[in-house]
Structure 1
Amino acid sequence: MAERGMSLRALARDSNYDHGGLSKVARDLRPPTVEMAQRLDAVFGTDGTLTALVAAPQSTQMGRWQTSAMDEELEAIDIARRVGATDCGELTLGHVEAIFDDLAVSYHRSDPGELLVRIMTQLKYISRLLDGRKTFKEHRRLLVTGGWLSLLAATCHIDLDRKGPAAAFLRTARSLAEEAEHDEIIGWCLETQAWQHLTEGDYVRAVALSQAAQHVAPKDSSAYIQASAQEGRAWARMGDRGRTRALVDRVTGLAAALPATERPEHHYRYDPAKSDAYIATTLAWLGDVEAAPIARQVLARLIAPSDGTPRLRRAASARLDLSLALIAGDEPDEAAHETMTALASGVLVPSNYWRAQEVISKVEARGLPEAHALNEAYQGLRRSAPRELS
């Protein structure tokens, strides 16, 4: 409303919604409904973003214990805030930064819709802190944490194939990062866009965005390594073996120079141990038979890791990489089996459906009888997937 110079009465008129109801939501006395959010999206032209903020928590059907856990997190932060001279002293900032790290670690083993609930809770709390008393340094740290959380929210929306909300959160993340002069977050924003274009088949744009990310991100950062990897994948999709191999070698060298991270599952910290997974994906997309043995090792490690916690979401994607490599190596029967296992896993996110479709198309081209069952499983998965909010 403030951005558009619109009064509450004008908004009620344009949205054909009760003025009193809008007033209570504006004063945080009542939660907004999905219907209200849809009407406001139509008035503001925000492409489903407001609806996503309201519907994401409802769509996950959280249990009472989950809501209680989030309330307890915020209460802990509030206690820390009250003992400081400002509204966001060291204890408060340390809490919100630690919670972001926990969410980034949870990303690979969480349902993206459920993770969005906690992300939005934290973003709302940071918004409150931004309105409070703080020093310049504290303000910048809040902007940085808000930028990381917005970036993670965008990634979850991409996983759910919700393009409108994903784009909105990417814009927010970049805006906060630019305000805080945080080049690594800007680099990650560009890299995330590159991945989105790659999954949509716009490989030229994916290369351009990956290169832009490498230009802006610090050369010793995880964003720089991941952007280099993304460029290599895009060249692989275009069949350019020379550029692909050069980037595989670059990423391998950069990863080897990194120290082992204490939290290897953190989505925004490149783990050197994951470089073989990147190589397997890239070579599989290139149609290189060398990808198969590497992909087998990666899958085995994800199913039975050294810490005993299976990485189910990554394993489902790794099965599709292995399937593609098996087809290149003329082993379509095993490829069909691995693809069916991935489809039946229950953890394959919508942003990876295209990878399954590619394997199925290649199985069909071989005339294998398994193609019919794979198609049925794939169509069933698509029918049960959450639809993009509008």
Structure 2
Amino acid sequence: MPPNDQLRAARAAHPSVRAPGRGLSRAELAEMVAAEVFRSTAREVPIDAHYIAKLERGVIRWPCTEYREALRAVLSATDDAALGFRPPDHGGHAVAPLPPAYPSDGLVELAARAEVTDVGGAAVEALEEVTDLLARAYATSPPDVVLAQVRRRAAEVSTLLDQRATLTQRRRLLVTGGWLALLGATVLVDLGDRHAAATARAAAASLGREAEHIEMTAWAVEIATWTALIDQDWHRAARLAADGEALAPAGTSAAVQLAAQHARAAARLGDGATVRARLARAEAGVDRQSGGRPRDHHFVFDGRKLDGYTATSLAWLGDPAGERVAREVAERYAPGPARRLATARIDLGLILARNGRPDEAAHLGVLAADSGRLVASNTWRVTELDDLLAPRRDIAEVAELHERCGDGRPSARDRPGGGGAGSKTL
């Protein structure tokens, strides 16, 4: 049999969704035909790229009615002849029976059924891209704005999961949903909604287990660790961080983040050896991160943040070396992200307060309080500095800081728009 060049040309002329600028692949055409048959007959058919190849090679010249109708609809053909299909010419002679449109072998049907999908590849890719963009916008966007987008995209993922999808598509959707749940949990902690944050965190852990994505499950533990630090439950934070480190795969950002969080918890417990060991582990892991995500992605540990974690740990540990690190971090972020600058100023203020410089320490606390970048998850850091300076409220700067914290929260004065950006910096 001669090849069916008309069908091959029609397929090549139809634009691909997965590869813009190219024609449909045989696999894409098969998926579209299967979807069209299901739409018109409510029947699932196991057509695949191999069957399309047989049509194009001319092995099958006259497919079944359902396939011909679906191919005409998908490729916008006026009739069967436009696709190179010709009915068998009996010519008064006996003709061998046509092979079935699809085999009855249960194993082959099982494999073909796994390829049937109502979910377009472009939709899955778009959701993955939007999720990455949201993770990159977290540090510079108001938390409520990020949360609204996270919830919207999560609903879209749920809708697609309710449709027929290939096994690969389903796992990609589960992973995307897991990242959205993690980001939602982070923002909810920022906003002080602990119940909703815990629910989102549990959802992320469940999706991670379902998709067999261990790093995602480790990130859920990291968010629980961060929450324990905010609650000043130092023993629980240290225990969770250790559990997360044991779970996180080597070379992942979650492993680095958990080591840095463990250092902070150990600092509060006065365990200097663990502080230094965990900071060293985090430093060693920064350059081994895999995944190919940009460093401004929230679920990538930006190596530039490590000095900030070091400053916080040394400040809590009471190590005099922390002053130099904290000053360097504050200088580095003076023209940069306001939330990191505010945290660096608080760390430096804590160190200066312990070193007998209450006026300078309080001034840094006031600058942090008025930065407009503090939310529920890090407001307590300013109050912490105020409490440390309580015996020196006869000093004007200390009294001013206390005024800011009079209701247990920094003043909203001078805050742009009445709210700040996301702040997972403690």
TM-score (norm 2): 0.67
Is residue 244 from structure 1 mapped to residue 284 from structure 2 by the alignment? no
Contact 1:108–1:314 under 8 Å retained in 2? no
Residue pairs, 1:36-51, within 5 angstroms:
none
Mapped to 1, the partners of 2:291 and 2:123 lie a distance apart of 28
Equivalent residue for 1:321, pick from 331, 344, 347: 347
Is residue 372 from structure 1 mapped to residue 408 from structure 2 by the alignment? no
Provide structure 1 residue ranges, at least 5 long, that are not aligned to the other structure.
1-75, 305-309
Aligned partner of 2:240 in structure 1 is 209
Distance 1:334 1:383, change over 3 A: closer
Contact 1:153–1:166 under 8 Å retained in 2? yes
CA deviation map 1:25-56 (0-9, x unaligned): xxxxxxxxxxxxxxxxxxxxxxxxxxxxxxxx
Residue type at the aligned position of 1:100: T
Distance 1:379 1:143, change over 3 A: farther
Aligned partner of 2:323 in structure 1 is 292
More RCO (CA 8 Å, sep 6+): 1
Mapped to 2, the partners of 1:107 and 1:239 lie a distance apart of 32
Secondary structure at the counterpart of residue 212 of structure 1: helix
Secondary structure at the counterpart of residue 347 of structure 1: coil
Aligned partner of 2:221 in structure 1 is 190
Contact 2:363–2:398 under 8 Å retained in 1? no
Shift of 1:185: 0.7
Mapped to 1, the partners of 2:165 and 2:150 lie a distance apart of 22
Mapped to 1, the partners of 2:165 and 2:287 lie a distance apart of 40
Residue pairs, 1:58-73, within 5 angstroms:
none
Aligned partner of 1:93 in structure 2 is 124
CA deviation map 1:71-119 (0-9, x unaligned): xxxxx99xxxx99744433322221111111111111111111110111
Shift of 1:259: 8.1
Shift of 1:376: 2.0
Mapped to 1, the partners of 2:199 and 2:376 lie a distance apart of 19
Contact 2:369–2:410 under 8 Å retained in 1? no
How many residues of Structure 1 are paired with residues of Structure 2 in the alignment?
Answer: 303
Shift of 1:332: 1.9
Residue type at the aligned position of 2:175: V
Mapped to 2, the partners of 1:237 and 1:191 lie a distance apart of 17
Residue type at the aligned position of 1:204: H
Shift of 1:372: 2.5
Residue pairs, 1:215-226, within 5 angstroms:
215-226=246-257
Shift of 1:382: 5.7
Q: Provide the aligned C-alpha RMSD in A.
A: 2.5
Shift of 1:144: 0.7
Mapped to 1, the partners of 2:209 and 2:293 lie a distance apart of 28
Mapped to 1, the partners of 2:170 and 2:383 lie a distance apart of 46
Higher helix share: 1
Shift of 1:260: 11
Shift of 1:134: 0.8
Distance 1:383 1:298, change over 3 A: closer
Is residue 350 from structure 1 mapped to residue 381 from structure 2 by the alignment? no
Aligned partner of 2:8 in structure 1 is none
Mapped to 2, the partners of 1:137 and 1:157 lie a distance apart of 30
Shift of 1:138: 0.5
Larger Rg: 2
Aligned partner of 2:191 in structure 1 is 160
Contact 1:261–1:271 under 8 Å retained in 2? no
